[in-house]
């Protein structure tokens, strides 16, 4: 992959759409797109108050940095400035009462657990 600069101030928030997943109240800005995997690997997510993402597994792990607000990742409560590393195979769901903006790095697609 080549060097890339993404000017987030020039991007519009777009609703996060994933087939079969309720992503109401979640918007995204793609920072880095992997053309080989045909998916984003780094992105910003904005969760409106009361938004959630269902229980899922990260085959290759995940990194989250909370830019603003708060979010509950499994049993962990994260606030502005917190960083979370989830190792490969980790599972969790996420929920925010008040809303938040997060930086995500997800090397592989997540798998929704039912």
Burial 20-47 (b: 16+ CB within 10 A, else e): eeebebbbbbebeeeeeeeebbbbbbbb
Q: Which tens digits make up the pLDDT trace of 14-55?
A: 999 988 899 999 999 999 988 888 889 999 999 999 999 999
Query: What CATH code is carried by the domain that includes residue 103?
Result: 2.60.120.10
Number of H helices, E strands in the chain: 0, 10
Residue 114 has pLDDT above 80, yes or no: no
- The pLDDT value given to residue 1: 67
User: What range does the domain containing 102 cover?
Assistant: 25-112
15 lies in a domain? Answer: no
Tokens 């925010």 appear where? 96
- What is the domain count for the chain? 1
Q: Which tens digits make up the pLDDT trace of 53-106?
A: 999 998 999 999 999 999 999 899 999 999 999 999 999 999 999 999 999 998
- Cα(22)–Cα(8) distance, integer angstroms: 25
């Amino acid at each position: 992959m080549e060097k890339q600069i993404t000017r987030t101030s020039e991007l519009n928030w777009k609703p996060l759409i994933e087939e079969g997943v309720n992503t109401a109240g979640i918007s995204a800005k793609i920072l880095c797109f992997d053309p080989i995997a045909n998916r984003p690997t780094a992105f910003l997510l904005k969760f409106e108050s009361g938004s959630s993402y269902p229980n899922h597994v990260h085959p290759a792990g995940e990194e989250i940095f909370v830019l603003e607000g708060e979010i509950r990742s499994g049993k962990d409560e994260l606030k502005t400035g917190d960083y979370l590393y989830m190792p490969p195979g980790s599972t969790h769901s996420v929920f925010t009462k008040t809303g938040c903006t997060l930086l995500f790095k997800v090397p592989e697609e997540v798998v929704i657990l039912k």
